[in-house]
Structure 1
Amino acid sequence: MLNIIKFRTLWSEQYLSRKQFPWLLAAFLFLLSYGSSLFYLNAIYWDDWVLFNVHSEYILEMFADAGAIFSWPGYLHIFLLLVGPEIYRLLTLVLMFASGYLLWLILRQKSFLKTLESNLITLLFLILPLNPARISLINFPYTLCYFCFFLAWWLLQKPSFNKKILSLGIFFFSFNINSFLVFYVLPVIDIFCKTTNFSLNVKTIKSFLKQYFLFLLIPFIFFYIKTSYFTPSGLYVGYNSVSWQGIKSSLVDFSPAVFIFILWLIFKILVKSFVTERGLIILFCGIITRQLAIFPYSVVGLTPSFQDWNSRHQLLMPLGVSLIVLGTVAWISYGRASRGVIIVLLLSSIINLYFSYEYYVDWVKQEKVIELISKSDEIKNARTIVFDDQTKNFNARGRVYRFYEYNGWLKSAFGDQTRFGVDLEEVKSRSPDGTLSYYPNEAFTELFSAANYQLSSPEIIVSIICSDSRLKALFTRARCFSLSINQYKM
């Protein structure tokens, strides 16, 4: 009974209003949401196959072609892969939680935020079901830069000369994920308000420029270095290029913020309710913050959806969405936000748990299919293999396997790189005659597990079959899976 009472206090407004970080509640919800990834630490997904069991030189070459400064993500991956996929998952959990704690340290310095609001924003920031693609190894540099960004921002809360220099360097590193160049507007506004104390005059502005001149220059310095000396090449020519259509659509997305601002003015003039006004202000700030988070993605035509691996474009959205949720709940509940936010947190945890379940089932399927492939002489003797995946409902987030994933399976099953796997739907849509000539030469390299493959027409079609549901397959350890192998006919 005592434990139940203690558990209930974690959800109380009294507990959430404490000036200490809500460790117990944050840890409980975070582990409920993401802790299940500890059950599939060795899983390989999507672009992870171009890292896993690939020689270092090819990894470095890939990131050099992608325009990464000095191929630093390649060196990071090479180092971490010495330990194995497990270290990625553990570090992701630690760094994402630490990022939430750093945000809390930043928010508690803001006098205009109540303690309850700071705690609720932090909990939402940690738990909202955004960016489930963090589970992929290839996305770990995103997580690292994410943590570094908030670390650099925190260092500016009580800055000394040494902290400023350290913060400057860490911000510069975080810009390696280029979307932070835009999101950097937030800490700049923060330190501007902190330095000027909301007093806009020539004296305070001069003082700010004198103290933080380098902080204003650093994103432009990084952008110049990146675009002048580290442009994408090879397969990545034109990678993440800005389009005029993307810019126009991004600007249109700011219209909800304008609407909220007008609504706030109406309430300020007619209603004059501080509580209602406060909720609208938080909501307005949330919309602006969210738009800053998605703007750098939308201008290059990237959509932060939940399908496939596109949720990686949601990397910067948690803070803005947290403010939107809190502001909306505070507005419609006249300031009683804690209960509404707790409901959102519980629902978010359930959704996160479901996402994790999907990734687990996906990996169970992959392991079983690789095992079945390794036992097939027909696949072993073939060179070009078409896969007909009839079990797409087992694939996490509705994803479709890429050719290099199939190649990774074949390489894992037979220990060589003499085969090439391709999805049936892809062949039908891109090559009605069945040839793979639409692939560039770079596709037939070790990076994509096809170093010794000789281009040829498809020989066999391998159907992946399972009659059971995802849940049943999970509890039967995927024994329901089987392969049907036939000659490929165009």
Structure 2
Amino acid sequence: MKSDKKSILILFIIYTIANVFFLINYNGIYWDDWELYDQEYDAVLQMFLQAAGNLGYINTPIRYIIANSGDIGIFLSRVLIFSFIFFSGIFIFKILARLTFISKLERMFVVLFFIIAPLNSAKIALINFQSNLRICIFFFAFYLLSKYLVDEKGKIGFRILLLCLFFISFGTNSVLVFYAIVLLYIFYITYSYENSVLKNIYTFIKTKIDFILLPIIFFVIKSIYFVPSGLSEGYNKINLNNIINLKLYFQTFQSNFIVPIQISFFSMSSVIIILILLLLLLSNLFTRQNNEMHKKDVYLFILGLVIFFLGAFPYIAVGKTPSLGDWASRFQLLLPLGFSFILYYGIQISSNLLNFKEIVKYFVYLILIISFIMFHMKEQIKYNIDWYYQKSIIENFKTNDLIIKNNTFIINNKIKKNLAQNRYVRFYEFNGMSREAFGKDDKFFVNSEKELRRYSSYKNRKQMNFYTWNENEKIYFTIKDNSNLFNQKSIRKNIKYLFRLKYLELFKPLEFKKEISNLISIEFTEK
């Protein structure tokens, strides 16, 4: 028990270091958050009713409260999401402890790679709060199930609780497919080698029929009561062509396993990379030894692939392939567990095949841990910077006469490279910034003439932030980067300036507004 506490403490320290810039982002608003922030409750409710049918009555309250409780609500959401992911890792640590063929050291590395996997940067968005909560509920239920299966007698109430928790987690619909790992776990734990495979399957179905039917029952209820409508009609519609397209599966593996590792490696300082390589060479660590290949490692590597594609399949099926770009990392929600198994046991297999010493393997783990930490730091620094550029836009809107006196604008956004993921800023984000600047929603900002024609019909959706707009003369302007203080290549300089802005924001608000407004400039054009 003491050693478990020590392991959990180590995991917590590494995880916290990786997410320190996530936690200090106490007031950032991004992407669809502008549809939640400072909105009327009914407008948010109607949005979620269209997106998820009657499930919207459950989805709305917690998201609305968090997004409309000021900086405290936003900071609380960051702390809770941070906690949800960490506790999910601890539940996995405990579940794997029930599998005696997985050593404690293996559990430690698998869970560590799970909680710091270079995936799901979109967790920063408030709108993704509930998805992360439900994943934590799923792993909590899974952990309780692992305890329940040790002794099931006389625990009907506990069994009902488990079913209820899993049912709640299905509110994030991709969990319906991912739940297959729970059924595989139950089958493995209850398998009797004294009986035939067929007898074991029969016993499994007979004794665990409620667990087997649970996702089917939810799917039936969802098909009747949780149906998207209005502008969300057809949302998440399954496409058979996507399911049978093998190329999508290869692309998914490349985009969500190989690419994140590559990006993470190059996130490290070149000095750190050189030092690690020098240590490897000078220590003569590549000396070979006779290693034994373990079948267990191969099986767990294959299991990792199965878990990975169970997590990716629901998104592939509806045409939302996970990736790191823009906000598509929200579709990586269920990939970290498979990612961690593939990575850890892939390295185990590779080092045994190449007959490397154990210490070489641990150097590889060290490099990966450092690179994943650097990945998260750089990503979250970029999100902090992104928010300050949004704040700069708001301040510039407030003081610009042409923007004050007009209400229809077409923007040429030249600051994308300074934003997280070099992302595309949606029209309703600009409208939200305008609403924040002026306290009213009578202006309409778009990125092109095409968007003006396409989205003007969205006016009656209050959460799009241009509800009282009436079209008049179109004004064209360019948003330019006006600051050399945020450096694309120097993480050290970015951190230094970021902390300066945080200090000013907290203790010198007037100086902060002046400093922040200089980050961008607005230049009006003929067209």
TM-score, normalised by the number of residues in structure 1: 0.86
Kept after mapping to 1: 8 A contact 2:138/2:166: yes
Structure 2 unaligned residues grouped into runs of 5+? 149-154, 254-289, 488-492, 502-515
Corresponding residue number in structure 1 for 2:120: 131
Tell me what 1:481 maps to. Answer: 519
Cα–Cα, structure 1 residues 325 and 451, in superposed 2: closer, same or farther, change >3 Å? same
Q: Which moved more, 1:477-486 or 1:326-335?
A: 477-486
Q: What is the TM-score normalised by the length of structure 2?
A: 0.80
Q: C-alpha separation between the residues in 1 aligned to 2:426 and 2:252?
A: 37
Q: Conserved in 2, the CA contact under 8 Å of 1:250 and 1:298?
A: no
Cα deviation, residue 457, structure 1: 4.9
Secondary structure of 2:470's match?
coil
Match of 2:212 among 207, 213, 216: 216
* 1:362-396 superposed Cα distances (whole Å, 9 cap, x missing partner): 01111122111111121011111122211111110
CA distance in 2, matches of 1:249, 1:66: 27
Matching residue of 2:343: 325
Secondary structure in 2 matching 1:157? helix
Structure 1 residues 192-232: Cα deviation after superposition (integer angstroms, max 9, x where no partner): 11112455445443432233111100101111111122211
Matched, 1:303 2:321: yes
* Distance (whole Å) between structure 2 residues aligned to residue 69 and residue 331 of structure 1: 48
Are 2:369 and 1:383 aligned?
A: no
- 1:393/1:470 contact within 8 Å kept: no
Partner of 2:29: 44
Q: How does 1:332-343 map to 2 (within 5 A)?
A: 332-334=350-352, 336=358, 337-343=361-367
Question: CA 1:256/1:421 → structure 2, altered by over 3 Å: closer, same or farther?
Answer: closer
SS of the residue aligned with 2:128? helix
Q: What is the SS of the residue equivalent to 2:118?
A: coil
**What's the counterpart of residue 289 of structure 1?**
307
Deviation string for 1:67-107 (max 9, x for gaps)?
Answer: 25431111221233353212211111111111111111101
Report whether the alignment pairs 1:415 with 2:439. Answer: yes
Report deviation, 1:441.
Answer: 2.4
Q: Secondary structure at the match of 1:417?
A: coil
The residue aligned with 1:61 is 46
Pairing of 1:439-478 with structure 2 (within 5 A): 439=455, 441-468=457-484, 470-471=486-487, 474=497, 477=501, 478=516
In 2, distance between residues paired with 1:448 and 1:422? 12
Residues 304, 453 of structure 1: CA spacing in aligned structure 2 closer, same or farther, 3 A cutoff?
A: same
Q: Root-mean-square deviation (CA), in Å? A: 2.5
Cα shift readout 1:111-143 (whole Å, capped 9, x = no counterpart): 221221111111111111110100100111110
What is the SS of the residue equivalent to 1:308?
coil
State the 1:421 CA deviation: 0.7
Instruction: Measure, in 2, the Cα distance between the counterparts of 1:69 and 1:97.
Output: 30
Corresponding residue for 1:266?
none
After superposition, the Cα gap between the structure-2 partners of 1:414 and 1:185, relative to the gap in structure 1 and judged at 3 Å, is same
Please give the secondary structure, in 1, of the residue aligned with 2:238: coil
Match of 1:277 among 288, 295, 298: 295
1:299-343 Cα distance to aligned partner (Å, 9 max, x none): 111121111010011100111010111111101222945443232
Give me the identity figure in percent: 30
Counterparts of residues 13-24 of structure 1 (less than 5 Å):
18-20=3-5, 22-24=7-9
Structure 1: unaligned runs, 5 residues or longer: 1-16, 258-271
**Which moved further from structure 2: 55-64 or 476-485?**
476-485
Query: CA 1:254/1:379 → structure 2, altered by over 3 Å: closer, same or farther?
Result: closer
Rounded to whole Å, the distance in 1 between the matches of 2:109 and 2:101 is 15
Please tell me whether residue 314 in structure 1 is matched to residue 319 in structure 2: no
Residue 470 to residue 479, structure 1, CA distance change in 2 (3 Å): same
Of 159, 163, 178, the residue aligned with 1:164 is 159
Q: Summarize the Cα distance change of 1:67–1:459 in structure 2 as closer, same or farther, 3 Å threshold.
A: same
> Judging changes above 3 Å, is the alpha-carbon distance between structure 1 residues 122 and 200 closer, same or farther for their aligned structure 2 residues?
farther
Structure 1 residues 283 and 309 mapped into 2: Cα distance closer, same or farther (>3 Å)?
same
Alignment-mate amino acid for residue 36 of structure 2: L
Whole-angstrom distance in 1 between the partners of 2:177 and 2:362: 31
